[in-house]
């Protein structure tokens, strides 16, 4: 027996018209947000949009050419915070002593070596690694704008173009979060420290000059550069953008209806410098400058006061957790349950690419709250899955992505359930116990699965990963090895 199609739980108004090749998939199990995990789900799309979602569809009723997806099929994952070039540091900066600030010097050394060609090669490989991990959309927090000593390239957005091309090569949707970065920090007297060394590559001089350069990208009135490319804005941090310069960035983002992201209170030292300079916390500085709001994401949000949490939640600001990076750099544990309770929608990011595994990032949100509180059960599987998919996409300016529903962007990730990690762990119920959504398989995947369990990825209706292999990049490990060696020498 075939059940009735499932409508979107969130869509407002009619879905966008779909056009293009018609495709059909038959998911053994599919997580339909707001519904639960259901069996034998027929998912159909035309072009880059889903046209129908029908659970419990018998094999005899399947259209010819339907692709079978064995395992748990989910919406595409959204990587809400990424610095692609940090991938070159993996394995070279994790061991030994040091702090965030000593790690930053290593990162600057890598930044100093990149040019548009080497950045394109490295980002192409990194983005391919992301798609193998189930990521269908990345928010690239991009501040490496100019040549050595800050000299402009003939195309002032050559580094941005390299990232956009890299995403296309990997089959990945991208929000280019073009970052305003004007100063090297705050001095003891509360003044801005001038950019120096590799930091000179990050700066545009003023926020107005930043906005002019971003305008040269040529995005349309909605911030779009193409069907899979959106331009957003970022303020690097209160250390790097004085409050008086933030207004121009906020104005640009509002005019374009674009997402606005900012690093917030990752390190206690940042808070101390901000208090010395402005007599208030970084969150209060952002609030007073009009930065916070429902299109804004704060990244890390680790060291917050209760008043900070109220400001963030009350303004409906997104909060992006990057737990593997925050652990690697000894940042601390953010108050993510308190942020969610206050009204923030949570998202996840791979940040420094210490690992690229959003299932790992997502479960660590829960696990770190357990470590901090000595209690279990802070987040449900539904909440964690929503952070990984729907809310992550919304924070990047793609509210039409992140759920398997009619009218949504046709992004799918299928997790195999037969690996040593998941065999026997995923109790495959096919009913809703006591009228509640069945989330047993989703719970197993979120708490025991990893990127190696990703078998198939569809982005915008196109196969990008098939049977665990990338369909567009022949040898992703070889591409990574070549690109990293070219950068590190």
For residue 224, what are the CA distances in angstroms to 315, 397, 458? 26, 10, 21
Is 300 tagged catalytic?
A: yes
Distances in Å between the Cα of 11 and the Cα atoms of 20, 275, 460 are 21, 42, 18
Q: Which one is catalytic: 308, 351, 391, 453?
A: 351
Active site residue 115: no
SS3 per-residue string spanning the chain: CCCCCCCCCCCCCCCCCCCCCEEEEEEEEEEECCCEEEEEEEEEEECCEEEEEECCCCHHHCCCCCEEEEEEEEECEEEEEECHHHHHHCCCCCCCCCCHHHHHHHHHHHHHHCCHHHHHHHHHHHHHHHHHCCEEEEEEEECCCCCHHHCCCCCCCHHHHHHHHHHHHHCCEEEEEEEECCCCEECCCCCEECCCHHHHHCCCCCHHHHHHHHHCCCCCCCCEEECCEEEEEEECCCCCCCHHHHHHHHHHHHHHCCCEEEEECCCHHHHHHHHHHHCCCHHHHHHHCCCCCCCEEEEECCCCCHHHHHHHHHCCCEEEECHHHHHHCCCCCCCHHHHHHHCCCEEECCECCCCCCHHHHHHHHHHHHHHHHCCCCCCCHHHHHHHHCHHHHHHCCCCCCCCCCCCCECCEEEECCCCCCCCCCCCCCCCCHHHCCCCHHHHHHHHHCCHHHEEEEEECCEEEEECCEECCCCCHHHHHHHHHHHHHC
In angstroms, what CA-CA distances link 276 with 4, 281, 282, 290, 305? Answer: 61, 9, 11, 21, 16
Locate tokens 């692709």: which residue?
67
- Which of 300, 303, 378, 470 is labelled catalytic? 300
Q: In what order do the strands lie in the sheet with 454-459?
A: 49-54, 36-46, 22-32, 67-75, 412-415, 454-459, 462-466, 469-470
* Catalytically annotated residues: 300, 351
């Amino acid at each position: 027996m075939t059940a009735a199609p499932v409508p979107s739980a969130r869509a407002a108004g009619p879905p966008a018209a779909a056009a293009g090749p018609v495709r059909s998939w038959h998911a053994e199990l599919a997580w339909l947000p707001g519904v639960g995990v259901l069996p034998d789900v027929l998912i159909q799309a035309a072009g880059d949009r889903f046209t129908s979602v029908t659970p419990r569809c018998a094999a005899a009723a399947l259209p010819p050419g339907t692709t079978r997806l064995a395992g748990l099929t989910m919406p595409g994952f959204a990587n809400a915070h990424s610095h692609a070039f940090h991938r070159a540091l993996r394995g070279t900066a994790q061991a030994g002593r040091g702090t965030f600030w000593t790690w930053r010097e290593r990162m600057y050394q890598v930044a100093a070596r990149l040019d548009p060609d080497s950045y394109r090669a490295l980002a192409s490989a990194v983005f391919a690694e992301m798609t193998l991990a189930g990521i269908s959309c990345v928010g690239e927090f991009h501040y490496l704008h100019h040549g050595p000593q800050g000299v402009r390239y003939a195309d002032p957005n050559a580094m941005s173009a390299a990232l956009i091309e890299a995403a296309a090569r990997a089959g990945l949707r991208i929000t280019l979060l073009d970052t305003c970065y004007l100063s090297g920090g705050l001095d003891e007297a509360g003044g801005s420290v001038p950019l120096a060394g590799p930091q000179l590559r990050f700066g545009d001089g003023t926020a107005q000059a930043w906005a002019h350069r971003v305008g040269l990208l040529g995005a349309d009135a909605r911030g779009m550069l193409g069907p899979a490319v959106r331009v957003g804005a970022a303020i690097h941090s209160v250390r790097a953008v004085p409050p008086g310069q933030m207004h121009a960035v906020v104005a640009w983002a509002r005019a374009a209806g674009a997402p606005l992201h900012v690093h917030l209170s990752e390190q206690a030292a940042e808070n101390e410098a901000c208090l010395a300079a402005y007599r208030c916390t970084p969150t209060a500085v952002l609030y007073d400058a009009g930065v916070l709001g429902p299109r804004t994401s704060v990244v890390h949000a680790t060291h917050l006061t209760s008043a900070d949490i109220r400001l963030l939640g009350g303004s409906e600001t997104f909060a992006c957790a990057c737990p593997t990076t925050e652990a690697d750099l000894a940042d601390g544990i953010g108050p993510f349950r308190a942020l969610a309770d206050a009204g923030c929608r949570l998202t996840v990011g791979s940040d420094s690419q210490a690992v690229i595994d959003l299932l790992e990032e997502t479960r660590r949100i829960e696990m770190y709250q357990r470590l901090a509180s000595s209690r279990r059960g802070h987040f449900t599987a539904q909440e964690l899955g929503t952070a990984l998919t729907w809310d992550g996409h919304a924070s990047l300016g793609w509210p039409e992505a992140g759920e398997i529903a009619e009218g949504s962007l046709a992004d799918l990730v299928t997790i195999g359930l037969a690996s040593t990690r998941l065999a026997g762990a995923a109790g495959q119920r096919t009913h809703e116990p006591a009228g509640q959504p069945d989330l047993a398989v989703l719970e197993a995947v979120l708490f025991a699965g990893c990127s190696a369990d990703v078998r198939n990825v569809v982005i915008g209706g196109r196969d990008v990963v098939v049977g665990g292999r990338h369909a567009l990049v022949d040898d992703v490990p070889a591409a990574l090895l070549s690109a990293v060696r070219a950068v590190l020498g």
